[in-house]
Structure 1
Amino acid sequence: MTGRVLVNVVDSAEASGRALRFAIDQASGRGLGLHIIHVIDESIVKSRKTELLQAATQRGEQVLAEATATARTAAPTLEVTSSIEQGDPMRVFTELSNDYELLVVGSDWQQHGSPSRRAVEALRIAAASDSPVAVIPDMDLTGRSGIVVGVDGSENSAHALQFAAAEAARTGQPLIAVHAWTLPVVPGAEFIDSASFYDDLSRDAADTLENALEEVRAEYPKLTVQPVCFDGDATLALATEAERGTLVVVGSHGRSGVARLMLGSVSHGLLARLAAPTVIVR
């Protein structure tokens, strides 16, 4: 890690957009540097049309200049660098991901629209990156509060919990820790005291969540923590809580090879229907 946040700006609108502002806040708030990139699509490069490439490069330089000015105005002491990259955005981000503590990408997903290229690219980048990836929709968060995090007792969710707790403490927001569980299919269930069985599972779920939160409570004693145990689907639980939060954080399974191009069902579900800015932590 080089102690920097990486953000991609596509056009002039993004040079002052929510993804860039999120990246600026993360970099300045966490004492990191900020690197801004603009990616020239590989189709332009492969066209071998010099004038087209020159025009795309000039446009990219303008976009980067506007984004850099935005960053320096918002955070005068922030170390800001920029570069123009060429190729497929997912490949570019994947190759760069090891060198940054956080990657930030914008998404133009709309609740009632069909999936766009940018929304799909954001999902692919989150799946392939080695570093945490923040996917930022163009969404008004006025009136919202809370950092939502998924907790399931795994190592990956522990990393997500640490990220979320640090962000909640930094921003002075409550930490909303969500643990979802469901009743298993049990052969012979008709012979079981269903009420007692449900109560046992409910207590086990609450214990799992509280055990996971012990370290966070000790590290951040002043942090407001809101545990949420949800009887049902984890994606639905997190999406529901995310509608009142400013950020949702989940862990990824961290597979290798071809399997890495697929996120877990929860991560994929949240990115496919963004309810809030979402961070995928490995």
Structure 2
Amino acid sequence: MYLPLVVGVDGSESSLRAVDWAADEADLHEVPLLVVFGTLWERYEGAALARELGRPSTEMKADDILKAAARRARQRHPDLVVTTETVPDEAEHALVRAGRNASMIIVGSRGRSGVADRLLGSVSRTVAALSDCPVVVVRGNHDNRALGGRHDRIVVGIGAGETSASVLRLAFTEAHLRHVPLAAVRAWRCPAHETVDHPLLTGEPARLYEERAAKELEAALEDAPSDVAVGRHTVEGPARAVLPAASAEAGLLVIGRRVHGRLGRVAHAVLHRSACPVVVVPERT
């Protein structure tokens, strides 16, 4: 039995975009979609859903939100198996629990205005930090689609040291299913205190760091499948700036999370600044 994809909804514009993306992703993977509503959301936006149903937002109920979200997903993919669940708990806890028997969780990023849409909501942040399965935070507006559009490539961030097989496996799979290339990005920096006067770095200290990054990148991709076109990119700068920049021309950005319950500085920055959906993959040690 295939594990479902889980999408969290709260009636907001952001969560409805997440439903669209989740429906595409579930159809792509040929798995069911489970739509979850945590009834103890601190607050939610009902304006978008209210317009769809033609009712005041004050009358919106959990059943309305779930039915509208499920209908939206089925309209997008008529053959998709969609189920719904109301959980009497805080949204982040409901989603994390649902993720224990799911292949992936999809959530929207908080957005009540153009400025707020660039910020990350507490639910998205908590789920990304605590989930046992990969979490997609749907950022940007790539036609609200998991597949198609002009941003036809997947980007995966390769960190220093050994990159988890689970991160690369997901990146390869997503690129394969979409028939798009994978761009593997390794950020590198030359420490400021290491100048050309250093006895071991005569002339070109930066070049040595770039070469080291290129070797680590090549080692990480040693077992790349032959059916995915993989581009290798070493970029000077901090990863928390390099990866959001790479997301501008991507349909999906894949990063790892090494510590359960906490997002590192890179993941935190990427989730706040990415121009495309981001999938955070728990790295198994």
Using the alignment, how far apart are the partners of 2:12 and 2:205 within structure 1?
57
Of residues 139-148 and 180-189 in structure 1, the stretch that sits farther from structure 2 once superposed is: 180-189
Structure 1 residue ranges without an equivalent (≥5): 45-54
Deviation at 1:154, TM superposition (A): 4.7
From the superposition, tell whether residues 114 and 73 of structure 1 become closer, same or farther in structure 2 (CA, over 3 Å).
closer
Using the alignment, how far apart are the partners of 1:71 and 1:115 within structure 2?
23
2:79 alignment partner in structure 1: 77
Using the alignment, how far apart are the partners of 1:202 and 1:110 within structure 2?
41
Deviation at 1:135, TM superposition (A): 0.4
Deviation string 1:16-56 (CA, Å, 9 cap, x unpaired) is x3211211122121122111112212669xxxxxxxxxx99
Q: Note if contact 2:109-2:137 (Cα within 8 Å) is conserved in structure 1.
A: yes
Deviation at 1:199, TM superposition (A): 2.3
Deviation at 1:238, TM superposition (A): 0.6
Q: Note if contact 2:119-2:272 (Cα within 8 Å) is conserved in structure 1.
A: no
1:252 to 244, 257, 266: 257
Using the alignment, how far apart are the partners of 2:189 and 2:110 within structure 1?
33
2:54 alignment partner in structure 1: none
Deviation string 1:145-179 (CA, Å, 9 cap, x unpaired) is 21111012555543222211111111122111100
1:200 to 197, 205, 208: 208
> Sequence identity, in percent?
27
Q: Which amino acid aligns with 2:131?
A: S
Q: How do 1:268-279 and structure 2 match up within 5 A?
A: 268-279=268-279
Using the alignment, how far apart are the partners of 2:257 and 2:70 within structure 1?
31
TM-score of the two chains, using structure 2 as the length reference? 0.81
For the pair 1:237 / 2:242, whether they are aligned, the reply is yes
Using the alignment, how far apart are the partners of 1:72 and 1:108 within structure 2?
24
2:106 alignment partner in structure 1: 104
Q: How do 1:58-73 and structure 2 match up within 5 A?
A: 59-73=61-75
Q: Note if contact 2:248-2:274 (Cα within 8 Å) is conserved in structure 1.
A: no
Q: Note if contact 1:235-1:266 (Cα within 8 Å) is conserved in structure 2.
A: yes
TM-score of the two chains, using structure 1 as the length reference? 0.82
RMSD: 2.9
Using the alignment, how far apart are the partners of 1:191 and 1:264 within structure 2?
31
Using the alignment, how far apart are the partners of 1:278 and 1:116 within structure 2?
13
1:51 alignment partner in structure 2: none
Q: Which amino acid aligns with 1:229?
A: T
Q: Note if contact 1:111-1:273 (Cα within 8 Å) is conserved in structure 2.
A: no
Structure 2 residue ranges without an equivalent (≥5): 44-56, 144-148
Using the alignment, how far apart are the partners of 1:185 and 1:254 within structure 2?
28
For the pair 1:150 / 2:149, whether they are aligned, the reply is no
Give the structure with the higher percent helix. Answer: 1
